């Protein structure tokens, strides 16, 4: 696929993302990818919550992942970003254990599956970020070649905005999953 085609495809996906998420306040703003065999990305997806209240925001993400077959049992997050959300939350009729850490990337949440082996690490786009920057973060994370940490992705998005404030990014976006 040539760069022009990738750019047009991404522009269309960004327009779709921006229009669907700006108009529908009930949509869960999350995208993730299934890892290819032999590849272990630093991030599996991205989430753009509407507030910094983990107890209020997390249920929609967990329910979205449940519908796709990922049954979350444990959530790890940054105490700096989310504070102390308690040791467990009742979500989708089951108890989800939570743990806050000082050392975890403040821009990431990690969801572990029931078997203890499966894990999904999500970049957390701050709720007050503008939609264009959020779309750029989504595009960066779902790019198969991304090896950046959550904080590095947000720094790169900010740097891109400083260089090209109104230009659309040219990274390939594989699939945006919103529910």
- Look up tokens 């998420």; give the residue: 21
Q: What is the pLDDT of residue 26?
A: 55
Q: What is the pLDDT of residue 174?
A: 36
Nearest Cα to Cα of residue 75 among 105, 106, 100: 100
**Can you name the residues that pair with 78 across neighbouring β-strands?**
101
> Do 169 and 160 touch, CB atoms closer than 8 A?
yes
pTM reported for the whole predicted model = 0.75
Q: How many CB atoms lie within 10 A of CB 37?
A: 4
> Do 111 and 92 touch, CB atoms closer than 8 A?
no
**Can you name the residues that pair with 96 across neighbouring β-strands?**
89
The model's pLDDT over 120-178, given as tens digits with 9 standing for 90+, comes to 899 999 999 988 888 888 888 877 677 899 999 999 998 877 666 555 443 333 334 44
Residue 161's SS3 state is helix
Q: What is the pLDDT of residue 28?
A: 72
Q: What is the pLDDT of residue 135?
A: 87
The model's pLDDT over 16-64, given as tens digits with 9 standing for 90+, comes to 544 444 434 456 788 877 665 556 667 888 999 999 999 999 999 999 8
């Amino acid at each position: 696929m040539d760069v022009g085609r990738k750019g047009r495809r991404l522009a269309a996906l960004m327009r779709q993302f921006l229009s669907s998420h700006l108009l529908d306040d009930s949509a869960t703003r999350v995208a993730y990818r299934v890892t290819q065999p032999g590849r272990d990305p630093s991030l599996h997806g991205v989430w753009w919550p509407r507030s910094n209240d983990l107890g209020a925001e997390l249920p929609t993400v967990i329910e979205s992942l449940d519908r796709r077959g990922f049954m979350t049992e444990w959530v790890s997050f940054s105490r700096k970003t989310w504070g102390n959300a308690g040791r467990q939350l009742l979500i989708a009729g089951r108890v989800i254990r939570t743990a806050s850490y000082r050392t975890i990337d403040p821009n990431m949440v990690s969801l572990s599956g029931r078997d203890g082996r499966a894990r999904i690490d999500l970049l957390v786009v701050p709720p007050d970020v503008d939609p264009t920057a959020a779309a750029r973060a989504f595009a960066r994370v779902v790019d198969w070649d991304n090896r950046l940490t959550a904080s590095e992705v947000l720094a790169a998005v900010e740097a891109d905005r400083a260089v090209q404030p109104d230009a659309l990014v040219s990274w390939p976006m594989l699939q945006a999953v919103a529910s």
